[in-house]
Amino acid sequence: MTESDARADASAFGNYQNEIYSTSLQGTLPNLPMSFAELEARATRALPPTVLPYVAGGAGDGYTQRANVAAFNHWGIMPRMLVDAAKRDLSTEMFGTRMASPIFLAPVGTIGLCAQGGHGDLATARAAAATGVPMIASTFSVDPMEDVAAALEDTPGFFQLFTPADRELAESFISRAERAGFKGIVVTLDTWVTGWRPDNLEAGALPQMQGHCLANYTSDPVFRDLLGQPPERDPRAAVELCARLFANQVTWRDLSWLRSATRLPLILKGICHPDDARRAVDAGIDGIYCSNHGGRQANGGLPALACLPDVVEAADGHAVLFDSGVRSGTDVVKALALGATAVGVGRPYTYGLALGGTDGVVHVLRSMLAEADLLMAIDGYPTVRDLTPAALRSVSPAWDPW
Ligand code: FNR
200 lines ligand 1 (CB under 6 A): no
108: in domain: yes
**pLDDT the model gives residue 205:** 81
State whether the Cα torsion 224-229-230-234 is positive or negative. negative
- What pLDDT digit, counting tens, does each position of 37-75 carry? 999 999 999 999 989 999 999 999 999 999 999 999 999
**pLDDT the model gives residue 8:** 44
What separation in Å is there between the alpha carbon of 108 and the centre of ligand 1? Answer: 5
Cα 356 to Cα 297: distance, rounded to the nearest angstrom: 28
107 lines ligand 1 (CB under 6 A): yes
Contact 365, 343 (CB under 8 A): no
286 lines ligand 1 (CB under 6 A): no
DSSP 3-state assignment of 266?
A: strand
140 lines ligand 1 (CB under 6 A): yes
**pLDDT the model gives residue 4:** 43
Question: 10 falls in which pLDDT band (50, 70, 90)?
Answer: very low
Is 119 annotated in the active site?
A: no
Cα 3 to Cα 1: distance, rounded to the nearest angstrom: 7
What separation in Å is there between the alpha carbon of 127 and the centre of ligand 1? Answer: 18
238: in domain: yes
9: CATH: 3.20.20.70
291 lines ligand 1 (CB under 6 A): yes
- pLDDT tops 60 at residue 281: yes
399: in domain: no
Q: Provide φ and ψ at 320, rounded to 5°.
A: -120, 110
DSSP 3-state assignment of 270?
A: coil
**In whole angstroms, how far apart are CA 19 and each of 25, 284, 290, 363?**
10, 45, 35, 12
Average pLDDT over residues 379-390: 98
Report the residue among 68, 108, 292, 368 best suited for mutation to probe ligand 1: largest number of ligand atoms under 8 A from its CB. 108
Angle at the Cα of 14 from the Cα atoms of 9 and 15, rounded to 5 degrees: 80
290: in domain: yes
Q: Taking Cα atoms as reference points, which of 355, 349, 327 lies closest to residue 44? A: 355
- What pLDDT digit, counting tens, does each position of 80-95 carry? 999 999 999 999 999 9
Average pLDDT over residues 169-182: 98
- pLDDT tops 90 at residue 114: yes
- pLDDT tops 60 at residue 401: no
Average pLDDT value over all residues in the chain: 95
189: in domain: yes
Cα 115 to Cα 50: distance, rounded to the nearest angstrom: 14
- pLDDT tops 80 at residue 2: no
- What pLDDT digit, counting tens, does each position of 305-325 carry? 999 999 999 999 999 999 999
402: in domain: no
**pLDDT the model gives residue 183:** 98
Average pLDDT over residues 128-156: 98
Q: Looking at residue 325, what DSSP letter applies?
A: S
Residues spanned by the domain of 303: 3-394
- Of 119, 212, 293, 363, which is the active-site residue? 293
**pLDDT the model gives residue 400:** 58
**pLDDT the model gives residue 48:** 93
Q: Taking Cα atoms as reference points, which of 104, 199, 116 lies closest to residue 152? A: 104
Domain count, the chain: 1
**pLDDT the model gives residue 247:** 87
**pLDDT the model gives residue 7:** 42
- pLDDT tops 70 at residue 211: yes
67: in domain: yes
153: in domain: yes
Cα 256 to Cα 143: distance, rounded to the nearest angstrom: 30
> For the whole model, what pTM was predicted?
0.97
What separation in Å is there between the alpha carbon of 25 and the centre of ligand 1? Answer: 38
Average pLDDT over residues 239-259: 96
Cα 320 to Cα 340: distance, rounded to the nearest angstrom: 5
**pLDDT the model gives residue 396:** 74
What separation in Å is there between the alpha carbon of 171 and the centre of ligand 1? Answer: 23
